[in-house]
């Protein structure tokens, strides 16, 4: 299952079955804690595959969430955050007075979620919960509590299941660690 690429190799980290099981378990945790009148706010692009599976897993628990999207960028084409989170296209207007579950792919430095929470306060959201499929706590610079998280991962650069390196590898159905020279600290 190791994929060879022009950039190096992608070593499997989380296989399809573990992803599917964890998404179902997260939906069960959410069903126990979240209100039924929920809006999922999906952070693009990285969270779109996870969010699609999570949405359908929530439906098994009787949820019929609204879905909104917010596009952000912090990486450019590198493997280290540039430390500046750019909002592309603005915050959906329909979030005012809603109960919102923010769905992200990875919590890394924490800057993205911190920025999103600030934007949501400005948008008049009634209640917010945060969820990230992956959590890299060793990289945290800004503490933002995660209400739900899929897996803790070490400080490696991951791709697959919607997550990219320079816009590639989102299509992989599993998550792997991209081994390139610049993903290893010098």
Which are the catalytic amino acids? 108
According to CB under 6 A, which one of 50, 104, 125, 150 is a site residue for ligand IMP? 104
Between CA 92 and CA 1 the distance in angstroms is 39
161 in contact with ligand IMP (CB under 6 A): no
Distances (CA, A) of 70 to 104, 127, 142, 186: 10, 17, 20, 34
- The separation between the first and the last C-alpha atoms of the chain, rounded to the nearest angstrom, is 28
According to CB under 6 A, which one of 112, 116, 123, 175 is a site residue for ligand IMP? 112
CA dihedral in degrees (92, 93, 99, 100; nearest 10)? 10
CB of 67 to ligand IMP, least distance (A): 18
Query: Which stretches of 79-151 are DSSP H helices?
Result: 111-122
Q: Which residues bind Mg ion (CB under 5 A)?
A: 46, 105
Residue 53 interacts with, from ligand IMP, Mg ion, none (CB under 5-8 Å by kind):
none
49 in contact with ligand IMP (CB under 6 A): no
What is the binding site for ligand IMP (CB under 6 A)?
46, 74-75, 81, 85, 104-112, 157-158, 163
């Amino acid at each position: 299952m190791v994929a060879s690429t022009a950039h190096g190799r992608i070593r499997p980290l989380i296989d399809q079955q573990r992803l599917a099981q964890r998404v179902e378990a997260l939906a069960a945790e959410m069903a126990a804690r979240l209100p039924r009148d929920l809006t999922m706010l999906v952070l693009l692009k990285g969270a779109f595959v996870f969010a699609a599976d999570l949405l359908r897993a929530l439906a098994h628990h009787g949820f019929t969430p609204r879905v909104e999207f917010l596009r952000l960028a912090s990486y450019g084409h590198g493997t280290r955050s540039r430390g500046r989170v750019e909002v592309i296209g603005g915050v959906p207007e329909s979030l005012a007075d809603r109960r919102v579950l923010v769905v992200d792919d990875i919590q890394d430095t924490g800057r993205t979620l911190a920025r999103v929470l600030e934007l949501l306060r400005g948008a008049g959201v009634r209640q917010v919960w945060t969820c990230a499929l992956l959590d890299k706590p060793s990289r945290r610079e800004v503490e933002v509590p995660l209400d739900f998280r899929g897996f803790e991962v070490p400080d490696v650069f991951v791709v697959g299941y919607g997550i990219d390196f320079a816009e590639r590898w989102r299509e992989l159905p599993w998550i792997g660690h991209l081994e390139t020279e610049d993903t290893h600290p010098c």
